[in-house]
């Protein structure tokens, strides 16, 4: 028995609808993996091209570098060396000074080169004339300005008063009763009397708040230098 034409037509339509649904499902299955791949690629490049994340610390332009170590103490200035100068004193160059008998060393009038400690600077420079060299010693709390005359030197304190006199050569008579450098400690004792202090290195005579110091060669006891300065 043959089916009716209308029933055949309905069956054909139903079959076509099934085929369409199958085709749509297949298309969706093929498209979904591609779409997922595109999302993955987008996410990857987005991370590569994005700026620093919100959790990443921004560099601080005002930050100061930390010190490499503890700060050291500022070294104390070197006070062992004198500040030298080629500046000479004013006035003409005078001949080698000669100490008069009334200005020689005595216990009641301790002098060296005929001058006493505390004498004003102008008076001393007028007596000795132009020095060969001048420099400032700042080893002590108060600096001393030194004028060198070759065979002897004189120093002045900050008040421009004579602070010391030093003999540096046997060529000059320092006004010690004929005693000069190169003579012996026994010669000094014969001329100046018994010293207040005596060692193998030094003879010291104290008078009127001054010290007359004679430095000795410990081997032969000869006088190497003579200096007059205030007693401490």
Residue 218 resides in a domain: yes
pLDDT of residue 79: 33
Residue 162 resides in a domain: yes
> Regarding predicted confidence, which is higher, 72 or 224?
224
- pLDDT over 70 percentage in the chain: 59
Residue 224 resides in a domain: yes
Q: Name the residue among 161, 128, 167 with its Cα closest to residue 144.
A: 161
pLDDT of residue 96: 80
pLDDT of residue 56: 40
Contact 193, 224 (CB under 8 A): no
Q: What pTM was estimated for this model as a whole?
A: 0.62
Q: How far is the CA of 211 from the CAs of 9, 155, 166, in angstroms?
A: 148, 15, 12
pLDDT of residue 19: 53
Question: What range defines the domain where residue 180 resides?
Answer: 83-230
pLDDT of residue 128: 96
**Long-range CB contacts (within 8 A, 24+) of 141-149:** 146/82, 147/89
Residue-wise pLDDT tens digits, 20-57 = 655 455 544 444 444 444 443 333 333 333 344 334 43
pLDDT of residue 138: 83
134 — pLDDT class (breaks 50, 70, 90) = very high
Residue 41 resides in a domain: no
Residue 148 resides in a domain: yes
Which residues fall within 8 angstroms of residue 22, CB to CB, at 6 or more apart?
none
Q: How many domains does the chain have?
A: 1
Residue-wise pLDDT tens digits, 5-23 = 555 555 555 555 555 655 4
Q: By CB neighbour count within 10 A (0-12 exposed, 13-18 middle, 19+ buried), where does 205 fall? A: buried
Q: How far is the CA of 170 from the CAs of 25, 167, 216, in angstroms?
A: 128, 8, 14
The answer, yes or no, to whether residue 60 has pLDDT greater than 80, is: no
Residue 75 resides in a domain: no
The answer, yes or no, to whether residue 105 has pLDDT greater than 80, is: yes
């Amino acid at each position: 028995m043959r089916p009716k034409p209308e029933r055949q037509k309905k069956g054909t339509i139903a079959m076509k609808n099934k085929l369409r649904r199958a085709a749509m499902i297949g298309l969706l299955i093929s498209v979904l993996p591609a779409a997922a791949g595109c999302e993955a690629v987008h996410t990857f490049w987005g991370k590569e091209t994005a700026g620093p994340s919100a959790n990443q610390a921004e560099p601080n332009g005002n930050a100061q570098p930390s010190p490499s170590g503890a700060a050291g103490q500022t070294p104390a200035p070197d006070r062992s060396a004198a500040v030298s100068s080629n500046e000479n004193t004013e006035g003409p160059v005078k001949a080698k000074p000669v100490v008069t008998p009334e200005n020689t060393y005595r216990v009641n009038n301790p002098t060296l080169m005929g001058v006493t400690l505390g004498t004003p600077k102008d008076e001393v420079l007028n007596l000795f004339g132009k020095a060969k060299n001048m420099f400032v010693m700042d080893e002590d709390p108060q600096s001393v300005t030194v004028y060198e005359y070759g065979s002897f030197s004189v120093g002045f304190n900050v008040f421009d008063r004579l602070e010391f006199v030093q003999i540096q050569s046997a060529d000059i008579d320092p006004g010690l009763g004929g005693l000069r450098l190169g003579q012996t400690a026994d010669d000094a004792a014969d001329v100046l009397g018994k010293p207040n202090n005596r060692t193998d290195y030094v003879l010291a005579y104290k008078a009127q708040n001054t010290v007359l110091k004679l430095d000795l060669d410990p081997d032969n006891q000869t006088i190497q230098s003579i200096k007059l300065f205030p007693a401490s």
